[in-house]
Amino acid sequence: MRVFELRVARRFLGAQRRSRFSSLVGVFSIAGVFIGTASLVVALALMNGFSGQVRDRLIGRDSHLDLLSRDSAGLPDGDSLPNLVEKTDPRVVAASPFLGGKAGISTGTSADGIVVMGIDPQRATKVIDLQKYMTVGKLDLYERQLDSGRIEHGIVMGYALASRLGMMVGDKATLVSLSSAAALSGMGAPPHMERCVLTGVYASGLYEYDANMAYVGIPSAQRLYQTGKRVAGIQVRVKDLWQAREIGQSLGGKLHLEPLDWLTKNAALMKWMRLEKILVTVVLCLIVLVAAFNIASSLVMGVLEKTREIGILRAMGSDSGTILRIFLFQGAFAGLIGSCSGISFGLLLCWLQNHFHWIKLPGDIYFIDELPVDVHAMDVVIVAVAANVICWLAALYPAWRASRLSPVDAIRQE
C-alpha cells in the first residue's frame, strides 16, 4: 500500500493540469529549501574552518600551557624546571623556558614598538611550531662578541614586521627595553640596548603576531629586560591539547606554579566563535522555515485543486490514512529534493574552495589569508535531518485537511 501512496504523491508533486500557479509555488518552496540547506552547509563549514585554523595557528604559534610564577618575580631556574615538568607528568611532550616583554626596535631608518620573546631555540622547537613557519633564513638566535666588546645576537621576526621595518636577513637593528618590560625584575631598571642581526623571517598566518612579534635567545632577553637569570615561565606542549587545563592544574599544584592553558588565554575568541556559529545557524534556519511555509501553502493549494482526485480515491476505497500519507509524502518529497540538492551544491562549493582556494582574505584584517572550509559530517547530517523534519511538519496540516474531505462532498463539489 505504501508503494501506491508514494507513486500518487510523486505524481501530485508534478505540474498541475489546471493550474500552473500552485506548481510554481511548489518549485519556489523547493528552491527555498535548496538555498537554505546549501547556505547552512557552507556557513557551518566556514565557521568550522575559521575556528579550526585560528585554533591550530594560535596553538602552533603558542604553547598548549604556560606555567608562571605566583608572584611578579619570575622563576629563578629556567634550566632545570623544564626537565622537572617533563618528568612530573607523562602527558607532557616537551617544556621550554620563555621570557617576554615590550621593546623598541630601531634600524637607523625606521623604528617601532614590538613584543620580543626570549626562547631556548633547542627546546622551543619541540613546544611551538616556529621552525615550521620559517620562510626566509633560519631559526638562529646565536650570540657573538664584537670587537668593541658588545654582544650581538640573532633575532627572528614575522614577515609583516620585517616588511614594515624594511629589513632583510643580515640587516642589523637595535633593541631598547621599555620601562614596562623591566617590571619583571621589580627594580625599575633603566632602558637597556641590545644589538641584533635579522637571521630569519617567519609567517604564522596570524597577521597580528607576524606584524608585532620577534624572538631572541633567553640570555639576550635577560640582558634586555635586566632580569638576571630569571625567566617569566615555562611553556609546555601536551599530548592532548584538550587536556591542557587538567594537566596545568595538576602541575600547578605539584610545582607551586600558576597554570595558564590555551583555552583560558583565548577564552574570549573561542566564546565569540562558538556564539557566531550558533547565530549564523539560527539565522539561516529561517530560510528553511520560510521555504517550509511555502511548501505548506503549495500543499494547501494542491488540496483545493485536487478535491476531485481525492474524492475519487476515497470512493475507490482509500481511507483517510491513505490520503494523509499521500500528502505527507508529497511534502517530504519536496523537502528531500530541496535538501539533497542543496547539501550537494553546498558540499561542491566547499570542495572547490578547499582545492582551488578561489576566495582570499586580506591578512591585515583577518587572522588568515584565505577563506578556510572544514566540513563536519555531523553538521551535514543535522542540516539534512532538520530540513526534512521541518518540511514534513509543514505538510501535516494540509495532509490532515485532505484526509478530512468526504468523498461524496468532494465529488459533488467538482
DSSP 159-211: HHHHHHHT--TT-EEEEEE-TTGGGGGTS-PPP-EEEEEEEEEE--S-HHHHT
Please report, rounded to a whole number, the percentage of residues in the chain having pLDDT higher than 70.
87
Read off the pLDDT of residues 163-189 as tens digits, 9 standing for 90 and up. 999 999 999 999 998 854 444 444 555
* pLDDT in the model for residue 272: 82
Q: Which residue has the higher pLDDT, 1 or 148?
A: 148
Q: How far is CA 244 from CA 237, 241, 254, 323, in A?
A: 8, 5, 15, 58
Q: Which residue has the higher pLDDT, 264 or 269?
A: 264
Read off the pLDDT of residues 92-117 as tens digits, 9 standing for 90 and up. 999 999 998 899 999 988 999 999 99
Q: How far, in Å, CA of 128 to CA of 83, rounded? A: 17
Q: Cβ(29)–Cβ(288) under 8 Å? A: no
Q: 6, exposed or middle or buried, with CB in 10 Å at 0-12, 13-18, 19+? A: middle
Mean pLDDT of the chain: 83
pLDDT tier at 313 (50, 70, 90 boundaries)? confident
Location of C-alpha cell 508533486? 13
Minimal CA–CA distance to 70: which of 253, 215, 245? 253
Q: Cβ(107)–Cβ(166) under 8 Å? A: yes
* pLDDT in the model for residue 209: 87
Neighbours of 275 (CB within 10 A): 10
Neighbours of 1 (CB within 10 A): 10
> What's the pTM value of the predicted model, to 2 decimals?
0.69
Sign of CA dihedral 173, 177, 181, 184: positive
Answer whether residue 83 shows pLDDT above 60: yes
* pLDDT in the model for residue 188: 53
For residues 387-411, give the mean pLDDT.
Answer: 78
For residues 218-230, give the mean pLDDT.
Answer: 88
* pLDDT in the model for residue 345: 96
* pLDDT in the model for residue 371: 82
pLDDT tier at 365 (50, 70, 90 boundaries)? low
* pLDDT in the model for residue 226: 85
pLDDT tier at 412 (50, 70, 90 boundaries)? low
